[in-house]
Amino acid sequence: MPTPLAAASEDPLGNLGTRIREERRSRDMTLEGLAAASGVSRSMLSAVELGQKSPTILLLDRIATALGTSIARLVALEQVDDVVVLRHDDQVVARDPSGWERRILSPVLPGIEFEFMRTTIPALVNAGLFAPHATGSREYIAVQTGVLHLTLDAMHFSLGPGDSMYYAGNRWHGYSNEGTDEPCVYYLAMDVTGEESPHRATIASD
C-alpha cells in the first residue's frame, strides 16, 4: 500500500505519530479515549503513534476529527508569520490508495482550526464516508471540473463545474465521482472550531 501522504520536497510524515500523540495528550485523552471517539482501534492508533503504520486519509481524518482539529495540523508545522506563501512543491499532498488526492493549500496557524484544500477524485472512485465535526463547524465547497456526488447524512447532491455549496460540518459526509469518465476537482474550505463535540456513533475500523 502506498504512503497516503507525501510532499514533493520532503517527507512530512516523519513526525506524524509524535504529533498525534502530542495533540492527544494536550487534550488529556488516553489511547482508549481517542479510539472510542474516532472509531479507530486502539492497536491501530498505537501503531500509528509509534510510526509502525501509516493511516489512510480516511482514518487520519477520523483521528483529526476526534481530536477536534484538521489533518493539516497533524502533518504540517505551525506558522507564526503574518504572511505565508506555500509554493506548489512544498504543499502537503494526501494520496489515497484508491487514487484520489487531497492537496492542503492553507498554512497551520496558532489557535486556528481551518483547512483549505484541493481534492482530485478520479472517475469511478468513492473517497469514503467522513465523520461529523463539532457542532458549529462549517464547510464550503466549489467544484472546478467534473461531477461531485456529495452525501450529507441521508441527503444526496450532485455538483457540476462552477457549482458551490455550504453545509454544517456536524454531519456524516461522503464524496464520490461515480458514473462519469473524467476526474472531479473541487475546493473545500473547512472551519472545524465548532462549539461542542457532536454525538458520534461507533465507526468500524479496518
pLDDT at 120 > cutoff 80: yes
Can you tell me the mean pLDDT for 116-126?
96
Identify the CATH number of the domain in which residue 180 sits.
2.60.120.10
How many domains are contained in the chain?
1
pLDDT tens digits, residue range 13-45?
Answer: 558 899 999 999 999 999 999 999 999 999 999
Q: How far apart are CA 200 and CA 66, in angstroms?
A: 9
* Confidence band, pLDDT 50/70/90 cuts, at residue 1: very low
Label residue 161 exposed, middle or buried (CB < 10 Å: 0-12, 13-18, 19+): middle
Return the percentage of the chain with pLDDT > 70, whole number. Answer: 87
Do residues 94 and 120 touch, judged by C-beta distance below 8 A? Answer: no
- The pTM (predicted TM-score) of the whole model is 0.82
Looking at residue 55, what is its pLDDT? 87
Residue 25's domain comprises: 1-206
